Structures are given as structure tokens and as C-alpha cells.
Amino acid sequence: MNKEIKDIALRTIDIETKSLSGLKSFIDDTFTKVVELIHASKGRLVVTGIGKSAIVGHKIVATLNSTGTPALFMHAADAIHGDLGMIQQDDVVIVISKSGESPEIKVLVPLIKNFGNTLIGMIGSKQSFLAKEADHILNTSVEQEACPNNLAPTSSTTAQMVMGDALAICLMHLNEFSGKDFAKYHPGGNLGKRLYLKVDDLYKQNEKPFVYGHATLKDVIISISKGRLGATAVVDNNHALLAVVTDGDVRRMLETTSDVKNLLVTDIYNKHPKTVMEGVLAIEALELLKQYDISQLIVTSKDNIYLGILHLHDLIREGII
């Protein structure tokens, strides 16, 4: 039974992979024209379908909206019972259907054409009603469903999903949709934080431990303990950064020095601290922490004024890691 289950799973993957490979032959001049048409449209992209195609339509709409192409989903069954009012004059409509012959589709298509909207059919049969009525076609034909009875929508819905992704990413490119744009539409969750969260949003919540250049070892230890960040900055009278002392520096010094009474911060500090400038993205600060294998970065202004300390735990707490 174990082997049988694995064989069925592998067969499913093989069939669907073959179906996706077949999509490459459908990326032709018609596909390009559809992308350019949607890009040039002054309206939105309305996606509709029935059954499993409707579920795929929801996903395609979500991807389009999050990558800069205004889109909305209209269920084919609801459309013929009032939701046609969602379609505006300049909208482009994509109807998704494997057979292109569903009763709801046959009722809906003439209504859309009467409105004068451009109609694109994402279809699995070029001989279907939808294919003949559509202004343009996105071909998602597959040779075989992964279902052993060749009935349950599997390969066909996967092909529809990938064609939708190809469409969205092409439009994303034409719209010059950047990482900053993406962050604007994804402000929540860890993904959004990686794109917009800055060092300034984190270090200001921490203590700001520091000592002056003439501080004693006792001053250093007290500052590190109070700050609870594993380090303290060394600054001049204008708070310009001079150096840093970490708890590791203190431990290493204690291991090698027996007389510590007269030690000053200048005896143990690191004159080349690892820093990050204010305004830098938190994800960039994380890369610095990884690069140098350290737990904290000293935050400075452009003029090298000490502002605070960013700790690895700040990034963990925000879900950046």
C-alpha cells in the first residue's frame, strides 16, 4: 500500500508537470496581445468563471491586485442574477472555463458582449462556444487530467492557475511594479515587514547604553548591564561614536587580566564597531549581522552620532527572521 500511494502521487505530479510544459507552446502573439490590451486598459480586469474555474479565478484576482493590476472577481452564476452591474465601461473581462460550454457561460458571454467590453476566454477547448465568441483566447488545453477517470479538474485547473500567474507577472513588469510598490500593498505580516520595516522602527524601543571615553571598567559593566543589549557604545562629548564594548570583550579581558582595578574603557574597547545607519531597512541590518556573525549593531546618523543599538532579538521578535 505504501508503494502504491507513492506511485499514485508521483503519477499525479508527472501528469500535471507535463501539462504545464505544454503551456509554453501557448505563449504566442495572442498572449502578448492580451497582456498589452489589459495593460493599456483604463478600467479594471474582471475575472469570472464557474465551479473549480471560479476558485482559480479568485486566486488570479488576488495575485493581480497584489502586483499592481486592479482586478475583481465576479462569479458567473451570480453575474446573471444581478452582479453584471460590477462591470464598468472600460473593464476587460476574462472568462475562465475548461469546456467553454457551461450553461452559465453560454448565458453570460452574450450579455458581456452586449455591454461592449473586450472578452478574453481562458479555455481548454478551442472548438467551444466560449472560444468562438471571445475576442481573444488564452489557451489552457491539457491532454489529460491527473484524475484516474480523467474527470476531476486537476491538470486543467493547474494550467489555468499558471497561465494566470504568467499574465500577472508580465503585467507587473509592464507596470514597473517595484519592491516598494509591493510593500505598499502588503503592509501586514512578515513579508510586508521585510519590505518596509526600518532600523529606526526597532532600535528606538531599546535602551541607549553608552559611556564616555574616560570611563572605568566599572562604568562599562554597569552600562552593559542596565542596557540589557550585551554591549555599550563609547562616545565623545558630542556623542559621536568612538568605539564599542561588548560583554564578550569584558569576559575575554577578565580571563587574561588579574588586576582590573585601574582599567579604563580604552583598554578593552573595539575601535572598529560594526554599525548601521538610521533609515536602513531591517532586512539589510539582518544581512550585516549574518555577515559578521554578531548579535548587535550600533546605529548612527550620517554624521556618526550615536543613536542606539539594534539587537538580533529585535528582528526575531518582529518575525524578520
Task: List, in order of start, the domains of the chain with CATH numbers.
Answer: 2-177 (3.40.50.10490), 200-317 (3.10.580.10)
Average pLDDT of the segment spanning 282-306: 95
Of 134, 162, 132, the closest CA to residue 26 belongs to 162
Residue 136 in grid coordinates: 481573444
Provide the percentage of residues in the chain whose pLDDT is more than 90.
Answer: 83
Q: Tell me what pLDDT residue 194 has.
A: 76
Q: How confident is the model at residue 190 (pLDDT cuts 50, 70, 90)?
A: low
Taking each helix axis from N to C terminus, what angle separates 217-227 and 247-256, rounded to the nearest 10 degrees? 140
Average pLDDT of the segment spanning 220-231: 95
For 35-61, the pLDDT digits (tens) are 999 999 999 999 999 999 999 999 999
- 214 annotated binding-site participant: no
Q: Tell me what pLDDT residue 292 has.
A: 94
Cβ partners under 8 Å of residue 89, min gap 6: 43, 115, 116, 117
Of the CA atoms within 13 Å of residue 265, those in its CB half-sphere come to 28
In order, the DSSP letters of 91-155 are: -EEEEEESSS--HHHHHHHHHHHHHT-EEEEEES-TTSHHHHH-SEEEE---S--SSTTS-SSSH
CA angle 101, 131, 137 (to 5 degrees): 135
- Give the span between the Cα atoms of 240 and 197, in whole angstroms: 26
- Give the span between the Cα atoms of 321 and 317, in whole angstroms: 9
**What is the side-by-side strand order in the sheet with 241-246?**
210-212, 231-235, 241-246
For 256-285, the pLDDT digits (tens) are 887 888 889 999 999 999 999 999 999 999
Q: How confident is the model at residue 186 (pLDDT cuts 50, 70, 90)?
A: low
